[in-house]
């Protein structure tokens, strides 16, 4: 009997091991059945992330549309302000023009003197850069205006300028007149020194035409700056082989 009991224990051993193996298999099956749920987890998370990204993109697009609408409203407001300034400027110009047409000669002269004084004061307080900029703009504006003139308007402008300068010079004191004449003489000398042959001939032709219209001018060569062109024959150092006289090279016999 004692020998049979160990045999029974030995037979019971494999049965217990099989039970344990069955329990482990059941656990593995339960883990395998839960695996699809674990695999589905990341998929659901990806869908949620995609939905959140779509919502963020829609919010960004909405903000961009709001920004574009604000920019359009600002540009429309700027356009209205600019048009308003233009209309005001045109109205002011029309009003000033109508007022100036009603001025008499004395009022016009007084207004021009006031404008000249105000401009001179503003320019005296400006920097060199500001003065150069104003001078350049004035020159460009005058050049543009004169380029659009007809021949009749150009002649009329010259006559008006001539009369204005003559009236201004009659009021000059002697010191101012002498200084102006000296400055003008120096300026003409510098300009004539840099003239080429074409400019020199053109200037002389213009001088002769201008003086021919003035009946009181002395039309001789002393009243003009016409001078004969310099003709140089070289040195008179060639000696005659017969008499020993000196002559120029171009006069050789």
Task: Identify whether 51 is part of a domain.
Answer: yes
Q: Give the residue numbers spanning the domain of 2.
A: 1-82
Q: What is the pLDDT of residue 6?
A: 44
Q: What is the pLDDT of residues 213-253, one digit of tens each?
A: 766 555 555 556 666 667 777 888 888 888 888 888 776 55
Output the pTM of the full model.
0.34
Is the same domain home to 132 and 167? yes
- How much is the average pLDDT of 188-193? 86
Is the same domain home to 71 and 4? yes
Is the same domain home to 19 and 68? yes
Q: How many domains does the chain have?
A: 3
For residue 9, pLDDT beyond 50: no
Task: Identify whether 166 is part of a domain.
Answer: yes
Is the same domain home to 39 and 27? yes
Is the same domain home to 48 and 108? no
Is the same domain home to 68 and 127? no
Q: What is the pLDDT of residues 21-45, one digit of tens each?
A: 655 665 555 555 444 444 444 455 5
Q: What is the pLDDT of residues 159-182, one digit of tens each?
A: 888 888 888 888 888 888 888 889
Task: Identify whether 223 is part of a domain.
Answer: no
Is the same domain home to 64 and 119? no
Task: Identify whether 210 is part of a domain.
Answer: no
Q: What is the 3-state secondary structure (H, E, C) of the chain?
A: CCCHHHHHHHHHHHHHHHHHHHHHHHHHHHHHHHHHHHHHHHHHHHHHHHHHHHHHHHHHHHHHHHHHHHHHHHHHHHHHHHHHHHHHHHHHHHHHHHHHHCCCHHHHHHHHHHHHHHHHHHHHCCCHHHHHHHHHHHHHHHHHHHHCCCHHHHHHHHHHHHHHHHHHHHCCCHHHHHHHHHHHHHHHHHHHHCCCHHHHHHHHHHHHHHHHCCCCCCCCHHHCCCCCCCCCCCCCCEECCCCCCEECHHHCC
Is the same domain home to 167 and 139? yes
Task: Identify whether 65 is part of a domain.
Answer: yes
- The mean predicted confidence, pLDDT, of the chain is 75
pLDDT, greater one: 185 or 51: 185
Task: Identify whether 95 is part of a domain.
Answer: no
Task: Identify whether 139 is part of a domain.
Answer: yes
């Amino acid at each position: 009997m004692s020998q049979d009991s160990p045999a029974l224990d030995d037979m019971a051993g494999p049965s217990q091991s099989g039970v344990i193996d069955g329990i482990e298999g059941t656990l593995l099956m339960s883990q395998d059945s839960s695996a699809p749920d674990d695999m589905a987890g990341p998929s659901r998370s990806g869908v949620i992330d995609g939905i959140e990204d779509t919502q963020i993109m829609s919010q960004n697009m909405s903000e961009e549309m709001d920004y574009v609408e604000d920019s359009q409203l600002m540009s429309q407001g700027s356009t209205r302000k600019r048009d308003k300034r233009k209309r005001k400027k045109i109205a002011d110009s029309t009003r000033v023009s109508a007022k100036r047409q009603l001025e008499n000669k004395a009022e016009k002269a007084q207004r021009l003197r006031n404008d000249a004084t105000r401009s001179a004061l503003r320019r005296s307080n400006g920097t060199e850069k500001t003065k150069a900029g104003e001078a350049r703009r004035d020159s460009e504006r005058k050049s543009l205006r004169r380029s659009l003139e007809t021949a009749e308007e150009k002649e009329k402008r010259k006559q008006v300028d001539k009369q204005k300068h003559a009236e201004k010079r009659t009021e000059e004191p002697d010191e101012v007149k002498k200084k102006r004449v000296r400055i003008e003489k120096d300026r003409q000398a510098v300009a004539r020194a840099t003239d080429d042959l074409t400019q020199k001939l053109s200037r002389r032709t213009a001088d002769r035409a201008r003086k021919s219209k003035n009946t009181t001018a002395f039309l001789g060569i002393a009243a003009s700056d016409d001078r004969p062109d310099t003709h140089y024959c070289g040195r008179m150092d060639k000696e005659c082989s017969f008499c020993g006289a000196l002559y120029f090279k171009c006069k050789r016999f």
